[in-house]
Every structure is written in structure tokens, then in C-alpha cells.
A and B are shown apart, each in its own frame.
Chain A
Amino acid sequence: MKDLLQHADEIPVTLVVALAYATVAILTGSIGLNFADSEKLFAWGSLAPMDAPLQPWRLLSYAFVHANLVHLVFNLSFLLNIGPALERSMGSLKFLALYVVAAIGSGVAVCLLYEVPQPVVGGSGALFGMMGALVAWNMHSGRHLFAFLEFEGPRRLMSMIVANLVIGFLIPFVSNTGHIGGLITGFAVTFLFLTPVRRGIRSRRPWQIAIAALFASLTFACIVPVWRWDWLYEQGLNETGARRQSIERAVARSISGDQLGEQIDPELAHLYYQQVGGLLETLRKRRGG
């Protein structure tokens, strides 16, 4: 087992991820300047919050799919720029874990905070996770947490993160929600799990357990979004009686943003429920699901 792990730690994960980007881009036809066909992107793993409850694997798959050539080249160059150095310093297996967890963290942020039908693609959330990892690595190597800010390289890294986030806010079709989710996840997972333990430092175990529980809980919330009309609608399909009425009220409240008051008329709630069904069907047809 130890030998196997040692061999696995020699796989150049950055290169494998880069090849995966390129392969999926060819398969989805994302190698032109125009955006690729949304049906193909959906077939290869794009993530919209409404898809996560039924197909949770999309929380990871979207991080290998890109929208067009510019998107692909930008992320590929970013990956090849910071990936190899980070992989060398932490080891391939840890780097792989970082990429996967940061991609899922980014997907979780998208599912919790983005519009329900809006699909996202791209590895940038995971790449932001790598930047978060670099910050954590630097913080961990100083005498105190912010000692690294005395040095030029880490200060440039911070500037790069801020610049990328500002660019994300300025360009309308960039999901900064996912970027920030990936950044925070990459930082947390590296700071608590991937950096070596320092002498005399307080035990990280309580933090590790708490953050792992939080991550699991938020992922659970993506798969079981009890407050969202799309998930509630699916739940109501097989229900009858009082529970069905409660679900219809919940759907009406959810899609109206709680504007219908304390008591919702059952007929009005039923009407909302029917309309939500039609809306979901239209959204799925348009996106090819």
C-alpha cells in the first residue's frame, strides 16, 4: 500500500488535469471563439444549482469543462503557471486532493448562492483554490500568520488574487461566487490538512473536524436544498394530502421570496406549484437535460 501511494505521488497531476481540460474541450467543441453548445456542456458535466440534487457528481465534473477557447487557454495557462510549483512543494496526492476539494467547494458556493437555472463551467474555482493554498502555505511558514506579508513574492500573490477577483466582478459572465468559494476552500483545506504540523502549535484537530463537518453539511445542503422551489417541486410529485399541501405552500413561498404572507391560500399555492412544474420543464428542455 505504501509503495502504491509512493508511486501515485509521482504522477504529474498538473499535467493530467491539463490534458483532461484539453480532451474535454475537444469533446465538447469548446475550441472555438464562440461559446460551446450548452447541450454538449451539460452532457459533459456543467453545473447548475438545480442539477446538483439529482446529479451530485456535477459538483466536480464542471471543473474540467470549459466554455470556449479563451476560457480554456486562460485557465490552462493559469494551471500550468502555478500548478507545478505547488505540486512539487506539497506532493501529487495532496495536490490532487486540493484540486478536487477546491472544485467541490467552488461548486457548493455556486449551488448555495447562484441562480437556480444558471449553469457554470470551468476549473477557475479550483485554480482559485490553489491560490488560497499558496496563501495558506505562506501563512504557515512564517513566525506568525501575517509574517509573510513582509516579503515581496507573497505580497504579489495577494495582489494577483485581488486583481483576479476585481476582473471577475467586472466581467458579467464570470462566476465570482465560485471563485471565492474555491479560494476559501483551498485556503482552509491547505491550512488545516495539507501543511506540516509545526512544533509547539495548538492542536489543529478540533478545527479539522469542525471544518470537515461544515464542508460536509454545506455539500449536503446543495444536494438537499430544502428551501428551494425546484427541489421542493420534485419532492411534491410523489406526495398526497397534508404533506403535499405543505410542499405546495413551501414552493409558493420559495419562488415568491416569502412575499405571500404568513398564511397562503391552498388554491394559490397549488397554482404556483403547477407553474413551477412548467417552468422547470421549460428550463430543462432549453438546457438539454
Chain B
Amino acid sequence: MPEVGAPAEGPRVPVPLPAGQRLALLLIWLVAAVPPALWLVSRSDPDLAVQLVHRGTVWVTRLALGAGAVLALAALLFPPVPAWLRLRWNELRLSLTSDRGPLLRAMGELEHFASAQRHYEVGRLALLRREFSLALPHLQAALEMEPDMAAAHHHLGLAMFRHGQLGVAAAAFARAEELDPGHAFGDALLYLGRCLDLADHHQQAVEVLRKHQARHGGGHRSHYWLGLALLAAGDAHGAADAFAVAAAPPAQKITAEENWFRALARVRRWRGGAS
């Protein structure tokens, strides 16, 4: 496995600003010019300066309200917004409807007899509840007692991935996959691919994600991540194909998370697979 986290090499190439950014810069300069211009007007006619400010404020407020209304409407029709709301609602519902009981019971059992399996159970439950500071030491303890526990490696990888520790996460996912090929229905392989892609090892990421799809089929998420990796590796056509598969309507009801990645893929398709 390549070293994850090493910076990509290459000369620094200045890239010209796109039209949108130039327009934004122009607007900033126009706003910046207003106070000195008003001061100059005020030096000759203070009353005119106040009138200009009042009329300008009225027009800017009207424009902002109009633009806000249009944006709010557009946002609700923009696929990622409803998908994001569903995702967050799902998380909120889970957090409100699950208690800490199983986790406390698992911790209680650990007091009587500490085993790798029990440490792993505490780590897994804590991770489910997003209690990372509790999950990490237990997953590490499980691995110290039983270094070949694929599930603990996988969960350690998940915890590290969520913390952005891509190098450690990739190593953990790779080890989980090595110990138990196809672990967690291919989740370890899928996340390994994502870690590699995020760490700028795009070609390896493409290989791993393709392997995952060959073995386990592929959902919206895996196709979307494959599309991103292909795009970063310079294969725009392959990326467009992957985004098209990821954006395809599902045959049956999909989870909030899969729906989120489908929404992202739909946006990518609209933009022609561009980054």
C-alpha cells in the first residue's frame, strides 16, 4: 500500500481566474468603492450623500430579499438539499431513539472480565453513538489483545476516517480486508478506496474501488466515490459513466446515506462530470 498523506509532487502552476470569480471580484471592488465615493459626494453635498445611502439601502434590501427567496426555492429543488435534510433527520431520529443502555451494559461486562471481544463491543457501540473518545481506546485495547480481529480493525478505520486521520484509517481498512476478505460486505475495501483517493493516490483508489464493485456489486456511494477518483486520476469519461450509474433512479427504497450520494452524483451529471 502506498504511503498515505504524502503531498503530491509537481511544479506550482498559476491558473487564470474563471469568469465567475472575476465577476465576484468586480462586485467586491464596487462595494469597496462605495464608502470613499460617498465621502467625496458628502464633501460637496452632505444631503445628497444621505439620500444616496437611503435609496441604496432600500434597493439592496429589496434585491437581497428577492434573491434570498429565489435561492431558498432553488435550494429546495436542488437534489442535495432534500437529501441532506433526510440524512440529518435520520441521524437525529437515531440519536433521539437510541439510549446509552447497551453501551453501559457492555462497559459493565468489561469490568468483570476484559476480553478483546468485549473491548471491541464497547468500541463498536461507542462509535455508533459517535462517542469517539470512548471508542478509540477500547478498539485499540481489543487490537492489543487480539491483533487479528478484522472487525476491530474495520471499526478503528471508521473512527479514524471520521477524524480525518486518513493514513491510520487506510492501514486499518487494509488490514481488515487482508484478515477477512470482503469484511462487512466489502465496506472495508470501499473505505480503503476512499481513503486512498482523499490522500491523492487516485490510481490506487480506482483499482481498489473497481475491485470492490467487481466483488460486491456497487451502490450509489461506491459509484460516486469511483467517479471522484476517476475524475482526479484524469479519466473524465470514466468518471461521467460512474456518476451516471450513481445517479440512476433506484429500483427500491434506498437508505438516507445512499440517497445523499445519489443526489451528489445527480449534480455531477448536470455539471457534465466536471470537478
Contacts and interface: CB of A to CB of B under 8 A. Distances in A.
Interface of A: 142-144, 147-148, 150-154, 197, 199-203, 206-207, 210-211, 213-214, 216-218, 220-221, 224, 226-227, 232, 235, 243, 246-247, 249-250, 253-254, 257-258, 264
B54 A253 contact: yes
B73 interface: no
A152 B130 contact: yes
5 contacts: A143-B198, A202-B16, A226-B41, A226-B42, A227-B38
A104 B90 CA distance: 41
Contacts of B28: 210-211, 213-214
A257 B41 CA distance: 19
Given A210-B29, A224-B39, A246-B47, A153 B16 contact: no
Contact of B162 (A152, A249, A254, A264): A152
Given A206-B25, A217-B36, A227 B49 contact: yes
A159 to B, nearest CB: 11
Contacts of A210: 25, 28-29, 32
Binding site secondary structure of chain A? helix
A226 B31 contact: no
Most A CB atoms within 10 A — which of B17, B32, B161, B232?
B32
Nearest 9 interchain pairs by C-beta: A227-B53, A221-B35, A226-B42, A152-B162, A250-B46, A258-B54, A217-B32, A151-B164, A249-B47
Binding site secondary structure of chain B? helix
B14 interface: yes
A214 B51 contact: no
B77 interface: no
Interface stretch (B5-13, B62-70, B148-156, B248-256): B5-13
A201 B10 CA distance: 12
Contacts, number: 112
B12 A200 contact: yes
Most A CB atoms within 10 A — which of B16, B28, B41?
B28
A151 B163 CA distance: 5
A216 B162 CA distance: 40
A201 B11 CA distance: 11
A154 B17 CA distance: 28
Contact of A226 (B33, B49, B163, B198): B49
B78 interface: no
Given A152-B132, A200-B12, A235 B46 contact: yes
Nearest to A214: B32
A282 to B, nearest CB: 23
A253 to B, nearest CB: 5
B71 interface: no
Contacts of B50: 226-227, 232, 250, 253-254, 258
Interface string B228-267: 0000100000000000000000000000000000000000
B84 to A, nearest CB: 10
Given A206-B17, A227-B50, A257-B54, 19 more contacts: A142-B198, A147-B198, A148-B164, A153-B162, A199-B10, A199-B11, A200-B12, A203-B15, A213-B28, A218-B32, A220-B35, A226-B38, A227-B49, A246-B47, A249-B47, A253-B51, A253-B54, A254-B50, A258-B54
B47 A253 contact: yes
A227 B54 contact: yes
Given A151-B162, A250-B47, A253-B54, A200 B35 contact: no
B85 interface: no
